[in-house]
Amino acid sequence: MRLGVIDVGSNTVHLLVVDAHPGAHPMPDFSHKATLRLAEHLTPEGDISAEGARTLARFVTDCVEVAESRGASELMAFATSAIRDAGNTEDVLARVRKESGVTLEVLPGEDEARATFLAVRRWFGWSAGRLLTVDIGGGSLELAAGLDEEPDVAVSLPLGAGRLSRELSADPPGEQELRALGKRVRSQVATALPTLARVGVPQLATGSSKTIRSLARACGAAPRAEGLYHPRSLRRADLADLTPRLARMTAAERASLPGVSAERATQLLAGAVVLEAVLDLADVEELAICPWALREGLILRFLDGLSDD
């Protein structure tokens, strides 16, 4: 079947059209996305503004038309922290549904972590042993660990790269401000680690999401041109060298780094602060980079449901 997947994240709204069948590798056919930065369309009360809701509904409608033009016979759509954390979630969902006909499924953070874990498990396979997965989105950080396809532990923390970047008042931020951010991040990450540690030491620690892939590329991982299946990793020592450099750069200067887009550059420093805290506190020396993440996990879960019928 040809499946259209609409992913409403904190930074972008992304339509991916894939050829997907139970038991088969989902094969991308077409990608269509826009950078809406929904989390920046918040009122002082914490609601998504009328303009933000209008722009979202318009683009989701556009995604439906594109998916149909590409021959998609099924459509699934989901939203993450930007919609989940808004004060007017139901109003925004109703507007999208009325204008586009699409019902967005709002995922709890723990469900994000579980779906991402499934994608990583399928990518690396059973031979990887016990996994630890780390995913840094725009609004939240997801951590999961376990031996099977369903993690034993799944945790979501409000430590997304976009969310934290908006808390920094200068570009580049001052040393004191950055130190305060790092202290708070480490305090929150530390609360989750005892639960993760109880399920055992991971044989493989993995990272997914655009932020982590960008950090890996900036630390010397293979470029995109090397292909999807080229092994990529990120060493804690290399990230420890990179983070102070990022702290001295403006967002425009970060965009000149290999593999860092202009839209990702504004969030790269906060993402590095979060990831370094996770690696330090979990005592992880190296992350294997997984090209699959939440979206692929939801596709796989959908296909698994078809094979059960």
CATH among 3.30.420.40, 3.40.630.10, 3.90.1640.30, 3.40.190.10 for 2-106? 3.30.420.40
What is the per-residue pLDDT across 193-237, written as a single tens digit (0 to 9) for each? 999 999 999 999 999 999 999 999 999 999 999 999 999 999 999
The token duo for 231 is: 């092994």
Q: Are 127 and 204 in contact (CB under 8 A)?
A: no
Report pLDDT for 263: 86
Residue with tokens 């914490």: 46
Residues counted in the chain: 309
Q: Are 199 and 124 in contact (CB under 8 A)?
A: no
pTM for the whole structure: 0.96
- Residue 145 exposure: Cα atoms within 13 Å on the Cβ side: 17
Report pLDDT for 308: 67
pLDDT band at 190 (very low <50, low <70, confident <90, very high): very high
* Listed residue (93, 95, 144) closest to 121, CA to CA: 144
- The burial class, CB within 10 Å (0-12 / 13-18 / 19+), for 36 is buried
CB atoms < 10 A from the CB of 13, how many?
23
- Quick one: average pLDDT of 158-167? 95
Task: Name the segment(s) of the chain with CATH classification 3.30.420.150.
Answer: 110-294
pLDDT band at 138 (very low <50, low <70, confident <90, very high): very high
Task: Name the segment(s) of the chain with CATH classification 3.30.420.40.
Answer: 2-106
DSSP per residue over 83-123, as a string?
Answer: HHT-TTHHHHHHHHHHHH---PEEPPHHHHHHHHHHHHHHH
* Listed residue (278, 298, 194, 293) closest to 236, CA to CA: 278
* Listed residue (210, 224, 182, 185) closest to 266, CA to CA: 210
The token duo for 45 is: 């009360």
What is the per-residue pLDDT across 6-40, written as a single tens digit (0 to 9) for each? 999 988 999 999 998 888 889 999 999 998 888 88
Which distant-in-sequence residues (6+ apart) come within 8 Å of 152 by Cβ?
145, 146, 199
Report pLDDT for 309: 57
DSSP per residue over 206-274, as a string?
Answer: EEESHHHHHHHHHTTPPPGGG-TTS--EEEHHHHHHHHHHHHHS-HHHHTTSTT--HHHHHHHHHHHHH
- Quick one: average pLDDT of 45-59? 95
Superfamily of domain 110-294: Exopolyphosphatase. Domain 2 (3.30.420.150)
CB atoms < 10 A from the CB of 193, how many?
15
> Angle 124-227-133 (CA atoms, 0-180°, nearest 5)?
30
